[in-house]
Amino acid sequence: MSKLRNLEDAVAAIPDGAVLMIGGFMGAGTPHRLMNELVRQGKKGLTVIANDTARPNVGIGKLIDAKLVARLVTSHIGTNPETQRQMIAGETQVELVPQGTLAERIRSGGFGLGGVLTPTGVGTTVEEGKQTIEIDGKTYLVEKPLKADFALINAKRADYYGNVDYALTARNFNPLMAMAAETVIVEAADIVPVGVIPPDVVVTPNVLVDYLIATENRHG
Amino acid sequence: MDEKTLIAKRVALELQDGFLVNLGIGLPTMVAAYLPNNMNVFFQSENGIIGMAALPEQGFALGDLTDAGGAFIGALPGACAFDSATSFGLIRGGHLDVTVLGGLQVDQSGQLANWMVPGKMVPGMGGAMDLVSGAKRVIVAMQHTAKGKSKIVQKCTLPLTSVRRVDLIVTDLAVLQPSDEGLILKETAPGVSIDQVKAATDCELIIPANVPEMQITE
């Protein structure tokens, strides 16, 4: 069965209150059409797991501007004053996670692990409320896995089966998130015939991908 | 020469041929412009690239090739791109030779605070905690004082970035090296006396018999 969906139908499948992982780093590698459509459909009470919220009116920042996000798990909000305002005003609940820890919590969620042990954050406020374990004389924090209902992925290319590759720094969290969600929605810049992406180049295997967002008219 | 340029030129001397280096946003980024001649250093940007370079011309901007601040960059021959888990595996796993970071406070024990001011500024730690925990060498590049107050203090009052002791502190007044005994004054900036450094510092310094003037790259 084809994984192809039009943008509107794919986003309609996301209920209010859903937990979303969204790829991207300061907007690079964020699925921008999906962001716009989430705003247009006015989804409410979302939990967003993402590296950052970019800037106002950019990438994930659009979801913040539209007040769609009730809870945010992220590493950095310094570039988005509106996210900071909502956090301080208590409108959006924000959990700040060291960037490498965020990547590993998502990875462990997708890889079937019970979490990771990391030295990052030991002895800082990040340690509060967490278990520590000593291994060979070194202290580690126990960081729990993260999973999501939906992963919204930006790709360079997908083939008709849903094999995916990525472009340069737009890769970032995308392949990790594609492992860690119940339903994986891929917005690719191009959708190409099967075989165009050589097997050695595929980063996200097709079995992980549920929906491919249909590209728009390519003849201007 | 302005103070930030002086700091960047001094930090550049700490890099060596073949090093993998991560530069923080702001002042640390300036270091890349002052590498000694013929030195080949690989710059990592934690959003997933080794071999980043300045964008050669505005018209070459590519949305899929950016630095950790989201600015458009170029890439050198031999550059490689990877996901965020690999990027932080490089950082945390001891593969990164040097990280250069800004600071809000560094204390007598060499601990760094650079990610939040409670109640005022809550940007989040981004990659800073992983960088300080995992890099082989951590260099703090910052102004010695802010609004007339020393950023070198007896004990950090701001939340720590890591309990790890940083390796070197380069300011517009001095080069300081943390040790078991405290902060050692290694160099003073051109035209700055030892007494001036002491007066601008909110903790005891260890002053060796010979404190040379800071050298910088051309």
Chain A residue numbers touching B49 (CB-CB < 8 A): 168-169
Mean pLDDT over residues B67-85, rounded?
A: 95
Nearest to A173 among B84, B130, B159 (CB): B84
What is the value of ipTM here, to two decimals? 0.96
The pair of three-digit structure tokens given for residue A108, joined into one six-digit string: 């462990």
Distance between CA atoms of A44 and A70, rounded to whole angstroms? 8
Residue A55: closest CA among chain B residues belongs to which residue?
A: B70
* Distance (Å) of CA A39 to CA A16, A28, A61, A82, A92: 12, 19, 11, 16, 16
Distance between CA atoms of B167 and B149, rounded to whole angstroms? 23
Identify from A30, A124, A169 which residue to disrupt to test chain B contact, counting B C-beta atoms within 10 A and taking the largest count.
A169
Bridge partners of A157, per DSSP, are: A165, A190
pLDDT at B217 over 90: no
Residue B46 bears catalytic tag: yes
Q: Rounded to a whole number, what is the distance in Å from the CA of B6 to chain A's nearest CA?
A: 27
For A63, the 3-state DSSP assignment is helix
Write down the mean pLDDT value for chain B: 95
B-contacting residues of A 83-102, CB under 8 Å?
A: 84, 87-88, 96, 98-102
Q: Is residue B215 part of a domain?
A: no
Stretches in chain A below the pLDDT threshold 50: none
Q: What is the pLDDT of residue A112?
A: 98
Q: Rounded to a whole number, what is the distance in Å from the CA of B67 to chain A's nearest CA?
A: 8
Q: What is the pLDDT of residue A218?
A: 77
B-contacting residues of A 149-168, CB under 8 Å?
A: 156, 166-168
Domain count, chain B: 1
Q: What is the pLDDT of residue A220?
A: 73
The pair of three-digit structure tokens given for residue B190, joined into one six-digit string: 């051109």
Q: Is residue B211 part of a domain?
A: no
Question: Residue B100 is which amino acid?
Answer: V
Between strands A138-143 and A116-118, the pairing is antiparallel
> What secondary structure letter does DSSP report for A13?
T
A141 touches chain B (CB under 8 A): no
Q: Is residue B26 part of a domain?
A: yes
With 0-12 CB in 10 A as exposed, 13-18 as middle and 19+ as buried, what is A31? buried
**Residues in chain B whose beta carbon is closer than 8 A to a beta carbon of chain A?**
45-49, 62-70, 75, 81-85, 87-88, 91-92, 121-130, 133-134, 159-163
Nearest to A171 among B69, B83, B88 (CB): B83
Establish how many alpha carbons lie within 13 A of residue B114's alpha carbon, considering only the half-sphere containing its beta carbon: 29
Q: Is residue B216 part of a domain?
A: no
Identify from A106, A124, A166, A201 which residue to disrupt to test chain B contact, counting B C-beta atoms within 10 A and taking the largest count.
A124
pLDDT band at B25, cuts 50/70/90? confident
Q: Is residue A193 part of a domain?
A: yes
A193: domain CATH number is 3.40.1080.10
Q: Is residue B157 part of a domain?
A: yes
CB contact under 8 A, B127 and A100: yes
- Range(s) of the domain holding residue A150: 4-114+145-213
Which candidate in B3, B14, B46, B218 is catalytic?
B46
Q: Is residue B212 part of a domain?
A: no
- Range(s) of the domain holding residue B74: 3-206
CB contact under 8 A, A26 and B159: no
pLDDT at B26 over 90: no
Domain count, chain A: 1
Residue B119: closest CA among chain A residues belongs to which residue?
A: A88
Q: A76 Cβ partners below 8 Å, 6+ apart?
A: A51, A52, A96, A99, B123, B124, B125, B126
A128 touches chain B (CB under 8 A): no
- Residue count of chain A, please give it: 220
Q: Is residue A56 part of a domain?
A: yes
- B153-197 tens-digit pLDDT: 999 999 999 999 999 999 999 999 999 999 999 999 999 999 999
pLDDT at B218 over 80: no
Q: Is residue A130 part of a domain?
A: no
Q: Rounded to a whole number, what is the distance in Å from the CA of A35 to chain B's nearest CA?
A: 16
* Distance (Å) of CA A21 to CA A56, A180, A184: 19, 8, 9
Residue showing tokens 């769609």: A68
Q: Is residue B106 part of a domain?
A: yes
CB contact under 8 A, B64 and A167: yes
The pair of three-digit structure tokens given for residue B1, joined into one six-digit string: 């020469």
Chain B residue numbers touching A98 (CB-CB < 8 A): 125-130
Cβ proximity of A211 and A183 under 8 Å: yes
Bridge partners of A69, per DSSP, are: A46
Q: What is the pLDDT of residue B120?
A: 82
pLDDT band at B38, cuts 50/70/90? confident
Distance between CA atoms of A1 and A166, rounded to whole angstroms? 24
Identify from A99, A177, A179 which residue to disrupt to test chain B contact, counting B C-beta atoms within 10 A and taking the largest count.
A99
Q: Is residue A47 part of a domain?
A: yes
Bridge partners of B46, per DSSP, are: none
Nearest to A75 among B49, B91, B126 (CB): B126
B170: domain CATH number is 3.40.1080.10
Q: Is residue A121 part of a domain?
A: no
∠ CA(A25), CA(A180), CA(A43), 5° rounding?
70
Q: A64 Cβ partners below 8 Å, 6+ apart?
A: A53, A56, A80, A82, A83, A86, A92
Distance between CA atoms of A24 and A68, rounded to whole angstroms? 18
Q: Is residue A137 part of a domain?
A: no
Residue showing tokens 């650079």: B114
Chain A residue numbers touching B64 (CB-CB < 8 A): 28-29, 156, 167-170
